Structure 1
Amino acid sequence: MVNKTFAAVLSLVFLASNGSFEVEADEFRQLLRSGEYVQALGRARANQDMVLRQQQMIQIARHQAASGVQAGALESLASLQDFADGSLIRSTGQAETRPMPSGSQGGAAMADFDTLIDLIKATVAPDSWDDLGGAGTITPFPGGIYVDRDGLMVRLDSRRDSELQGIRREQFDGMFSDKGQDVRETSSMRKVSLVRLQRQLQLLQLRNERADQVMRNLAGIYKIQYVLVYPDQRDIVIAGPAGPWKENGNGRLVNTNNGKPVLKLDYLVELMRNAYSANPTFGCSITPRTANLLKAKQYLASHNGKPLTPQNTDAWIQGLRQSVGRQDVEVFGTDNQTHLAQILVEADHHMKLVGLGEVPGVPGMNSYLDNLVQSDEPTQGVNMLRWWFTTNYQALHASKDGLAFEVVGPAVKVLSENEIVDQLGNRQQTGKSDPLTQQFASEFTSNFEMLAERYPVYQELRNVFDLAVISMLIKSHELDRKVDWNPEFYTQSYGYQPVRAQAVNSVKSVVSYRITTDRVVLAAVSGGVIVDPLPVVNQKNLKQDDYGILNAEYQGNRGIDLPGNTWWWD
C-alpha cells in the first residue's frame, strides 16, 4: 500500500454547494449537483438512449423542484414523451401529438411522477394549485396541458376557461407599446427611455399597482450598447439588442433565442441608488472564520505523514470539511436582501467551482487543482488563495458633444492574490500572486466570453457591471441635469421598490482534492466581487468616437414622435 504524504494547499472556498464535494467522473451528475440544470438538460436531450434520457430528465426535474425552480421542473416533466397521453398544448393553443412508447404510464413511472408533483407542490404557495383551492393545475390527465410563457403548466379544462383567459391576458399585459410594436419581436436595437419609464412607474405606484413583466425586464434588452442623451426632449435613453424571453432550466429569465439573461429593472434601481450614494463601491466578500482556519491548520498538522488509502480518504476529507466549517458573507454598497446581492454571491461562488474543477470550464482551460498536480510544485503549508471579480472595460466611447456613449469591453475580469494563515489562524495578505493562482485568473478572464455562453450567471454579472457603469455615468457627468430630470424615483428608497429576497449571510466551505501516486493535493479559494464604477467613467477613460457611428445612432432617434405612455420602441 502506497504511503501518501499530505502536500496540502488549504484553500477555503466559500461555496454554497448542494452537491458532492468530490470531483465526479460523471459530468451529468456533477452538473446536477452544482445546480447547472441548463447544461444538464442539454446533455440529457442529446442522449440517444431513450430510457436513459427519460431517467435523466426525471433526475433533472427532481433537482429543479427541490431547488425551487418550479417552472423548469414542470417543463422538464412535460418533455417526457411518456407523460400523460403525449399531447402537449403550448401557448399557441396548437396541440402537438407525440407517439407514446410501449409500456408508458407504467406503475413505476407514474409513482415517480406523482412523487415529483408532490415535491413541486410543496415548494409553491398553497393557493396556487386547484386541488388546494387555487387556480392552477398540475395533476396528470388525458387531454394535454397548457404551458404559459413563464413555463407554468396548466390543465386545459372547459370549467377553467375563464381562468385560462385570465392567464392569457396576464401574458400579454404590457407586451405591446402604444405604437403597436410587440416586445416579443427580435430587435437589433431596442430603446428604453429611463425618464418615460420612471413616469409610468410613478403612475402605477399612485394606483397601488406593480410594474408589469415588460417593465421588470426592461423590454427584453439583454446587452446595453448605447446611452443617448436628448436635452431638447428631456430624455435619457439606453439602447441594445432585445427580444422575447423565457425562464430557463435554472429559473433565470433569458432571451429565447440565445439564452442570454435580460436586463432587470430591479438591478438598475439598486445600482442607481448606489451611484448616488456617498460611497459608490459595491460588491461582496466571503470571510473565513479565524477559529475555523486554526482548526483546519491543526487538523492538517495532526494527520501529516499518515498513510492515506482509498478506504480512509472519504473520512479524512469529511473531517477536514468539518474543521473548515462555514464562512461569513458580507454584501456592501447595496441591500443584502435583493436578487442583485444574490447574483454577486452566486457568480463568485460559481467561479470558485470552475477554479477547483467542481464544474467544467471550457476547452483549453484547466482548473487550478489540475495545474497544481501537473506542476509538481512543493507544498507551501496552509496557503489561502484569493480570486475576485472586478471591472474590465477598455474605454467608454463618447460623441464630441458628450451626449452619446457606447459601452465597450468584456466588463469582467478576475484578479488573484495569495494569503498566509499564521499559527493563530489569522490571515495575512501578501500582495502577491503565485504563478498558478495567477494563471487561473488570467485564463478565466481571457475565456470569459466562452464561459458566459456556457454559464448564464456570468452574463448576468456583466449586466450588473454595465448597469453600474451607466448609472455612474448619469451621476458623475450630470446627465440628469442636462435633461432637467430628477431621477429620485430610482435613486431614493421611497421610490420604486425592488423585490425582496433572502439575504445570504454565510456559506459552506468546500474542500476539493486530487490524489496522485505520492501525494494528496488540497485546494480551494476565497475572494468576492469588488466594483468601483467611478474610474470607468472618468473623463480620461472616455474615447472620442471618430467614425461617426455614435452620432448616426443618436441622430436616428432625435425628435422621434412618441405617444405619451410609450417608454420603449424599436
Structure 2
Amino acid sequence: MTRLFRLTLVVATALASLSISQTTWGQNNGGIGGGNTTNDFAQPIAGVDIDATGVLKIRMFDPRVAQQRLMAARQQRGNDLMRPSKLRKVSLQRLEAAVNAQRENGGEISDDLRAMAGLTSIDYVFFYPETKDIVIAGPAEGFVADPTDRFVGMQTGQPTLLLEDVVTALRAYAPQAKPTNVISVSIDPTAEGLERLQQFLGSIRNVNRAMTPQIVAGLKNNLGLQTVTIKGVPTNTHFARVLVEADYRMKLVGIGLERLPVRMRSFVDRSTPGARGNNALERWYFQPRYDGISVSDDGLAMKINERDVELVGENERVVDGKRTVSGRANPASQGFCRDFTEKFPEIASKVRIFAEMRQLMNVAIAAAYIQEQDFYTQADWNMPVLGNEDAFSVGTYNAPEQVETAVNAVWRGNQLMTPLGGGVQMQPRKALSSSAVSVDASGDNKRILGESGPEGLKDGQWWWD
C-alpha cells in the first residue's frame, strides 16, 4: 500500500541579477572595531556577481584582502576623518566642489568622498543662510572598504552612506523638478506564469514524498521568470539594487530559505496547514514609518527622530492568472510582519542589506525636505555636477529586470503557500506632511544648527565635526 503525504510548498522570488555582497562583515560580534575580528576576517567572504549577460554567480573573496585593508585603515586612526564622531556635518555644495576638483584633475573619486566622510546615517538637515550651505549631519566613524568595495564602519560594522546613493536621492528631488511621489521596487510573477502555475497545481494527484523534486521543478518552470519593477530612481543604480536585494532577502527569510541571526519565526514556521486555499498568495513589502520628523520653528533644521522600518502584508488570491486583494487576514503572515517590524533594529544591526535599506529611506526623506523647503533656490545651487549624469555617473550597474523563482518544500499539511510579489515602497514626502511633522519646541534642532557651522572652513574642506 502506497503511503500518501500532504505537501506544503512555499514559493518566493529569488534574485537572478544582482552584484552585491551578502557578507555581514563582523556585525554579529559588535563590529569590526571590537570582538574577535581577526577570526571574522579569516573566513572566506561570499558575494554575488553578474556577468555581461546578466547571469548570477556566487563569488568567494580572499579573506586576506579584508585583513590587509583593516590593518591599513587602523593605521589611520590618528587622522581626524577616521575618528568616531557623534555628529559630523557635510556641506553638499562643498562636497560637490570637492568632487568636481578631483574630476577636473582627472583622478578617481577618493574614498573619503565615496564614503561620505564615514557618515553611517542622516539624522539632520540644516540650512545656513549666512553661507548658503545645505548640510546633512549624523554619526560617523572610521571606515574601511570590504573586498567588494563597499564601505563599513570600523567600530560598529554598519555601512556608511555612499555618495552615489545620496546623489540618486537628490536627483529624485532635484532643483525646480517635479517631486518624485513614490520610490519603490516590486518583484511580481507574470499573469501567464500564474495561470500556468494554477494549471500545474490542478494536475497534481496523490502526492508522496518521492515526488517532491518533480513538484518543486514543476512549480519553478511553470511560474517562470518574475518581473522586477523599479520606480522613482534609475534601475541601473546602487540605490535600486539595495531595495531589490532587501526585498529578495526578506522573502527568503519568510519562506524559510534564509535564517536571520535574530531569534524569530518565519512565515513558514507560523503557518497552519489548511488555513488558506491553494490559490492564496502572500505579499509583503517594506515601508518606512513616517512619523518622527521634527523641525525648528524657522524650518532651517530638520531631525529624523525615528528610523524604524515596518514590514506590512497584503492578502491576495489568484483567479485565472489574475491577482485580487482579499479581505481575509492570515495570522501567520501578520505574525511574521509584526516580528520583523519589532525586531528590525536588531536585524539591521546584524544584516547589512537591511541597514542599507533603512539608510536609503532616510536619505530620500532628507532629499525631499531639501526640495520642499526650496533650499536650492535659497542657496542659489542647482547641482551642476552632482545633478549631471555625464559629469557624475550613478547609473553604472546592470539593471535587474527578471528574477527566478525559489521554492521551499515543507512536509507539514496540504496547503500550498505562495508568498509572491511585494517589495519596498517609500513615499518620502509623506514623512513631511503636517500630520507626521512636529515643531521642535525644545529648540534643540536650532541649537545644534548653530553649534558648529561652516564659517571659517578651509578651502576645499567639505565636512567637519
1:435 deviates by: 2.6
- Is structure 2 residue 399 aligned with structure 1 residue 503? yes
Once residues 14 and 395 of structure 1 are traced to their aligned partners in structure 2, the CA distance between those partners, rounded to angstroms, is: 33
Write out aligned runs for 1:37-76 (5 A).
37-38=23-24, 60=44, 73-75=61-63
Change (3 A) 1:267 1:420: same
Please tell me the residue identity of whatever aligns with 1:541.
A
The root-mean-square deviation of aligned C-alpha atoms, in Å, is 3.3
Q: State whether residues 294 and 438 of structure 2, in contact with CA within 8 Å, keep that contact through their aligned partners in structure 1.
A: yes
Change (3 A) 1:41 1:214: closer
1:519 deviates by: 3.6
Write out aligned runs for 1:1-400 (5 A).
2-6=3-7, 11=11, 13-16=12-15, 36-38=22-24, 60=44, 73-75=61-63, 90=68, 182-248=80-146, 252-276=150-174, 277-280=177-180, 281-304=182-205, 306-309=206-209, 311-361=210-260, 363-372=262-271, 375-400=272-297
Any runs of at least 4 consecutive aligned residues in structure 1 with deviations exceeding 6 A, and if so which? Answer: 39-43, 62-70
Once residues 106 and 370 of structure 2 are traced to their aligned partners in structure 1, the CA distance between those partners, rounded to angstroms, is: 29
The 10-residue stretch of structure 1 (439-448 or 218-227) with the greater mean CA deviation from structure 2: 439-448
SS at match of 1:457: helix
Change (3 A) 1:467 1:389: same
Once residues 248 and 284 of structure 2 are traced to their aligned partners in structure 1, the CA distance between those partners, rounded to angstroms, is: 10
Unaligned segments of structure 2, at least 5 residues: 30-38, 51-55
- Is structure 2 residue 394 aligned with structure 1 residue 406? no
Please tell me the residue identity of whatever aligns with 1:321.
K
Unaligned segments of structure 1, at least 5 residues: 19-33, 44-52, 80-89, 93-146, 151-170
1:341 deviates by: 1.3
Partner in structure 1 of residue 369 of structure 2 = 473
Q: Say which structure is richer in helix.
A: 1
Q: State whether residues 131 and 455 of structure 2, in contact with CA within 8 Å, keep that contact through their aligned partners in structure 1.
A: no
Please tell me the residue identity of whatever aligns with 2:334.
Q
Please tell me the residue identity of whatever aligns with 2:303.
E
Please tell me the residue identity of whatever aligns with 2:136.
I
Change (3 A) 1:383 1:535: same
Write out aligned runs for 1:443-522 (5 A).
443-498=339-394, 500-516=396-412, 518-519=413-414, 521-522=416-417
Partner in structure 2 of residue 563 of structure 1 = 458
Q: State whether residues 361 and 367 of structure 1, in contact with CA within 8 Å, keep that contact through their aligned partners in structure 2.
A: no
Using structure 2 for the length normalisation, give the TM-score: 0.86
Change (3 A) 1:185 1:74: same
- Is structure 2 residue 419 aligned with structure 1 residue 524? yes
Instruction: From 334, 337, 342, give the equivalent of 1:441.
Output: 337
Larger Rg: 1
Once residues 466 and 432 of structure 1 are traced to their aligned partners in structure 2, the CA distance between those partners, rounded to angstroms, is: 33
Change (3 A) 1:478 1:260: same
Once residues 77 and 245 of structure 1 are traced to their aligned partners in structure 2, the CA distance between those partners, rounded to angstroms, is: 15
Flag the structure with more relative contact order, 1 or 2, with Cα contacts below 8 A and sequence separation at least 6.
Answer: 2
Change (3 A) 1:61 1:491: closer
SS at match of 1:38: coil
Once residues 531 and 64 of structure 1 are traced to their aligned partners in structure 2, the CA distance between those partners, rounded to angstroms, is: 26
Equivalent residue pairs, number: 445
Once residues 77 and 265 of structure 1 are traced to their aligned partners in structure 2, the CA distance between those partners, rounded to angstroms, is: 23
1:540 deviates by: 4.1
Q: State whether residues 365 and 428 of structure 2, in contact with CA within 8 Å, keep that contact through their aligned partners in structure 1.
A: yes
Please tell me the residue identity of whatever aligns with 2:325.
Q
The 10-residue stretch of structure 1 (440-449 or 487-496) with the greater mean CA deviation from structure 2: 487-496
1:356 deviates by: 1.1
1:491 deviates by: 3.2
SS at match of 1:401: coil
1:439 deviates by: 2.2
Once residues 7 and 255 of structure 2 are traced to their aligned partners in structure 1, the CA distance between those partners, rounded to angstroms, is: 18
